[in-house]
Amino acid sequence: MLAALRCFDVAARHCHFTRAAAELHLTPGAISQHIRHLEDDLGVALFSRLPRGLALTDAGRQLHLAVTQGLAQLSAGVARARETIGALRVSCSPSFAMLWLMPRLTQFHRQHPDIEIKLVAEFQSVDRHDMQASRTDCAIRYDPIDYAGIDAITLMLETLVPVASPDFLAQYGSLDTGRLASTPVLHDEAPWDGAPARIEWQTWAVVAGVTQPEAVPAGQAFNLSMLSLTAARNHQGVAMGRMALIADDLKSGTLVPASPVRALSPGRYVLLTAHEDDHRLRSFTQWLRAACAAFVTKTTV
């Protein structure tokens, strides 16, 4: 029946069996047979056979309207189903994606082998329109933004810790706030989209009691935290580390705290979603929240 209705839809649009056959890659005889069987099943004539073509009968016009609407709804449903069973597109801040999320995605795939993740490294601010336009299912950002018009779930807060390589500290000593101006510091100059210059170092400096936190030296600047941490691993200075990004380095001893002082970052990790829920997004959200909670528990013990 569906094949016959499809043939009828195209034939009704052209009012010509030969043109319908060309569009559907069938023979005119096959189109005629489908229409004849459809008319027999319905008990009405759908076309008037004219000397120079075809014309829809009243019953044919009514059926064509219903079939056109039905096929459009069916196509939309198939498109939605195709998107649902496709890869879950996750936009994520690059450093968090590389140093925290990627090493843990194996756990997610073990629990949900049927869900494919397409991870896209991005850090620009997003809203509902941006996410819908790019077909992004969810976004993970590190920032202090109060999102409106979009579902936002705080995953975890962040702690700032200045870190350096053991070799660097052996040569320069621990971070002395009184000598901060002469310390080779390493900056992520864009911890989030639109962040003030040196915001993470200045936030830490206030907690550390530096009398002029705005006087934190310019040092070396990078546009990603993972780059400043790479420079620190290579003994180039003291980087302001985020606990989520340095936990593995601290565990292995590749990086060590340059000061016992820790500060709560203005930014936090947030999960953003902009469309109706589906089983893939629900599963990923539940797993991600549990993984973040486990990490926080582990690093605060």
Task: Tell me the CATH number at 21.
Answer: 1.10.10.10
Torsion on CA atoms 11, 12, 15, 16, rounded to nearest 10: 0
Mark whether 66 and 104 lie in a shared domain: no
Same domain, 224 and 177: yes
Residues 146 and 283 placed together within one structural domain of the fold:
yes
> Pick from 257, 267, 209: which is nearest to 93 by CA?
267
Both 60 and 206 in one domain: the answer is: no
Closest among 89, 20, 115, 11 to 57, alpha carbons compared: 11
Q: Kindly state whether residues 110 and 158 are assigned to the same domain.
A: yes
Please tell me whether residues 222 and 284 are part of one structural domain. Answer: yes
Mean pLDDT calculated for residue range 189-196: 90
pLDDT of residue 126: 86
Q: Nearest-CA neighbor of 274 among 192, 152, 155?
A: 152
Residues 259 and 120 in one domain: yes
Query: 0.75 exceeded by the pTM?
Result: no
Q: Which of 21, 50, 84 is the last residue of a domain?
A: 84
SS3 content of the chain, % helix, strand, coil (to 5): 50, 20, 30
The residue among 41, 58, 84 that closes a domain is 84
Query: Does the pLDDT value for residue 210 go beyond 90?
Result: no
CATH code, domain carrying 211: 3.40.190.290
pLDDT at 53: 76
Work out how many domains the chain is built from and give that number.
2
Question: pLDDT digit string (tens) for 129-180?
Answer: 888 888 899 999 999 999 888 899 999 999 999 999 999 999 988 888 777 7
Residue with tokens 């489908």: 34
User: How large is the average pLDDT for residues 16-20?
Assistant: 87
pLDDT confidence of residue 37 = 86
pLDDT digits (tens, 9 = 90+) for 212-261: 766 677 789 999 999 999 999 999 999 999 999 999 999 999 999 999 99
Same domain, 78 and 95: no
Nearest to 188 by CA among 180, 198, 178: 198
- More confident site: 100 or 177: 100
Confidence band of 67 (pLDDT split at 50, 70, 90)? confident
253/237 same-domain check: yes
* 70 or 90, higher pLDDT: 90
pLDDT of 263 > 90? The answer is yes
pLDDT at position 77 is 63
Structural domain that includes position 77:
2-84
187 and 219 share a domain? yes
For residue 183, the model assigns a pLDDT of: 86
The CA–CA distances, whole Å, from 297 to 164, 180, 248, 291, 293 equal 24, 32, 15, 10, 6
Q: Where does a domain end: 84, 104, 119? A: 84
